[in-house]
Structure 1
């Protein structure tokens, strides 16, 4: 007890230094966050209003195969996405519950703590809810999305890796949402994409392709040709949503290679002049 008091008195006196004060404030905020999480878990009641079993959509295949969606992407209207965006805008503007949009027993994704934690990448919330209420991992929202869909579409790799180690992962990855999209569709879509702090757009495209192929390895093979409500396979959606990024990546690579070529010519000229200069000359 004496040592504890001495330690506390020392750090309290050291709070006068800015660096120590920052550490003190961060530790205090972490304690408050842990306490807030405990209160959230104690009062977490959304699981009672979320449907435990939601009808899974059937697998559908495209009648037009193969198709070059890159050439006719301007003619393809993503009706389901447009309708969903308009519905979200109306909901946020009116903030009212309309019949057919929000039912009494179904919550939207952003009002469920588990889904909100998965979309934000807050592992403490996801782990806390699933460990205390294991059945919550099987819940789906109004759109037929489970927590794995939310983690994949928001590119939260840590949440994905945590769910991958769980016993419910096999059933989670086979889920097909109400818009007939699999987790591979969400990996291919840029609907919730956030630009990462990478060196250039080519590296961002590389990261997107790596994420897509990582999800592609774990989905059932028949899902590779499954089409959503817009009649698009995951590969089609990948081409459409990343077409602009692909064009920007090509321009970035061209400009970077030209800059590197210029620098290489300058370095070669300096090395050549240094190699053939007369020793001791001016």
Structure 2
């Protein structure tokens, strides 16, 4: 028991030190700046092939960038439910709660998207819920849309199908 407690204390000290020197949350994307680039098609004769290739490239880019854009320490902690690190961030840098990623997601959107109730309670205690709820992502989604999505839902380990359905309804 003593060894486990010692490991926990060391992990907390390490997290405190890392939070103190992590400034990744300061690069926030609150303004909407987008450059539109129009180019001529390379092969105007084969339209269907060009469309198919562009759709494939767009899907690959989406998959690659979706996870990469959320990789600040604060959002990783919020996404995985590491309450201690989120608390430390908000103690050391209270303004970090307003950090927004390139795809216009904030900490509340992350907590709701990945179903992290403990992180949501921390956000409620800060009193900034009203200002975070109004954020709309680049895909036009609000926090309510993220609540309704079942992509990131992890069901609890319940005994029967009826209990799973009851949990989803809750």
Q: State whether TM-score is above 0.5.
A: yes
1:189 pairs with one of 130, 146, 149: 149
* Residue of structure 2 in register with 1:87 after alignment: 61
CA contact (8 A) 2:108 2:123 kept: yes
* Residue of structure 1 in register with 2:7 after alignment: 29
> Matched residue pairs, number?
146
Tell me the CA shift for residue 201 of structure 1.
3.3
Establish whether residue 108 from structure 1 lines up as the match of residue 86 from structure 2. Answer: no
CA contact (8 A) 1:119 1:151 kept: yes
1:123 pairs with one of 83, 96, 99: 83
What runs of 5+ residues in structure 2 fail to find an aligned partner?
Answer: 33-55
TM-score, normalised via structure 2 length: 0.76
Point out the structure with max Rg over C-alpha: 1
Establish whether residue 144 from structure 1 lines up as the match of residue 104 from structure 2. Answer: yes
CA distance in 2, matches of 1:87, 1:200: 39
CA-atom RMSD, angstroms? 2.3
1:50 pairs with one of 6, 12, 28: 28
TM-score, normalised via structure 1 length: 0.47
CA contact (8 A) 1:149 1:186 kept: yes
Instruction: Please give the secondary structure, in 1, of the residue aligned with 2:79.
Output: helix
CA distance in 2, matches of 1:194, 1:86: 25
Provide closer, same or farther for how the CA distance between residues 128 and 200 of structure 1 changes in structure 2, counting only shifts above 3 A.
Answer: same
What runs of 5+ residues in structure 1 fail to find an aligned partner?
Answer: 1-22, 56-81, 92-100, 211-282
Offset from partner CA, 1:66-101 (integer Å, 9 cap, x none)? xxxxxxxxxxxxxxxx99863354x3xxxxxxxxx6
